[in-house]
A = this chain, B = another copy of it.
Amino acid sequence: MLKYINLGYKPKKRDVVVEYYVEPNGISLEKACEQIAAESSIGTWTTISTMNPTIAKKLRPTVFSINKRTKEVKIAYPPELFEAGNMPEILSSIAGNIFGMKVIKSLRLQDIHFPKQFVDSFRGPKFGITGIRKLLGVKNRPLVGTIVKPKVGLNARQHAKVAYEAWRGGLDVVKDDENLSSMKFNKFDDRIKLTLKLRDKAEQETGEKKIYMPNITAETNEMLRRAGVVKKFGGEYIMVDILTIGWASLQTVREANLGMVIHAHRAMHAALTKNHKHGISMLTIAKISRLIGVDQLHIGTVNVGKMVGSEEEELHIEHDIEDKFMSKNEKGHVLEQSWYNIKPVLAVASGGLYPGCIPKLVERMGNNIVIQFGGGCHGHPKGTRKGATAIRQALEATLSEIPLKEYAKLHPELKLALDKWGIA
């Protein structure tokens, strides 16, 4: 049998490096590492006649770090093992069969370091932070938006009306919910036409650029058709549920080069990411998304909303999707990553947010974020438009460094919001 462990090995610049958390099942951690390295590359469970020393030498990965205390393991894979530019194939290797092995109790893919050759083989975002800011004409402040609520239920006309109210109230962005696509009572094409028409009206009336992010999630060709409908009616954005459509389709949507901003919703991610001992980290999902080329990505709410996610982890994620270079952070399970020519992704905070969350979000996540409010907008005691106004007021107060309570004295919409939901 081949051997894969070599703790003296120093990863080459061209290697793909993967960090795993490994809990063996009835064997030693070392033996588990051997089997993971084999199954994710060129090996199998028995000696085989078709293996030869040339193949083994050229393609064998190396387990170069084993931390027995934390059960963290690092493996360096030669790039020839993978097809550059083919994300499903890369994941079928390093995030494939290994999860199902009997000899492994739990396995978590913590991070992947992609060398230059692989970074260059993907497109990355077409717009990224700079492109989005240019499109909106908003230089420094966070963008604020809403998700039309109820998630599903309004007809196309009602949907467009709620969107209009939100824009008129002061929001930049209106977004479909992740489970709204083309329903019997709210057909995609009708919704897009009506909503973008009212977007134009809101733009004229407010003098601000307004954004609608329609959810095109569907079978690949139908997604591309829907993107065409959005474009036809003057939309510049599309939204996709990246986990439920899958990586091959996300690549297809990006490679279609539609000239539209891609907003990535991450519904289902926590089926993979929530358990810290098994599955795939959100950091990994975020890096894959940046490589493939989404422009905006939901990364969490640094612990102020309804969804899980630690502040520390989410800030690592934000850095890794925004920065040119990510330093390694042993404790945070973050590998070093150079992003070369790949543009930064705009982080999205969403999930159980209300106006009183804005100061904390901006303090922790900075200005390069989109803050999305669902119930925290439409749940305002005076309805959607006032809810939107309250959000914009909370943002203004935050940017002017005025305490929300203070600002609320002269801003009744904000006051009502704070009275209902408080300050995070």
- Near B by CB (< 8 A), chain A positions 244-265 give 244-252, 255, 265
Contact call B251/A219, Cβ cutoff below 8 A = yes
Contact call B379/A49, Cβ cutoff below 8 A = yes
Contact call B59/A153, Cβ cutoff below 8 A = yes
Question: Knowing A48-B375, A179-B93 touch, does A184 contact B80 (C-beta < 8 A)?
Answer: yes
Residues of B within 8 A of A306 (CB): 45, 101-103
Q: Which of B41, B59, B178 contacts A96 (CB 8 A)?
A: B178
CA distance in complex: A149, B379 (Å): 59
- Residue A92 is within 8 A (CB to CB) of chain B in the complex: yes
Contact call A42/B249, Cβ cutoff below 8 A = no
Question: Knowing A151-B42, A152-B42, A184-B80 touch, does A245 contact B88 (C-beta < 8 A)?
Answer: yes
Question: Knowing A50-B378, A274-B100, A280-B271 touch, does A252 contact B221 (C-beta < 8 A)?
Answer: yes
* Interchain nearest-CB distance for A34 vs B (Å): 13
CA distance in complex: A268, B223 (Å): 25
- Residue A351 is within 8 A (CB to CB) of chain B in the complex: yes
Question: Knowing A89-B181, A149-B44 touch, does A384 contact B248 (C-beta < 8 A)?
Answer: no
List the B residue with the shortest CB-CB distance to A250.
B246
- Near B by CB (< 8 A), chain A positions 24-48 give 40-48
- Copies of this chain, whole number: 2
A-B contact pairs, 9 of them (CB 8 A): A42-B151, A50-B384, A51-B149, A59-B153, A89-B181, A100-B269, A103-B306, A220-B220, A220-B248
- Residue A6 is within 8 A (CB to CB) of chain B in the complex: no
CA distance in complex: A153, B81 (Å): 8
Contact call B89/A217, Cβ cutoff below 8 A = yes
Q: Scoring A residues 365 to 399 as 1 if CB is less than 8 Å from chain B, else 0, what string do you get?
A: 00000000011101110111001000000000000
Q: Which of B59, B309, B375 contacts A152 (CB 8 A)?
A: B59
Q: Which of B51, B107, B152, B223 contacts A41 (CB 8 A)?
A: B152
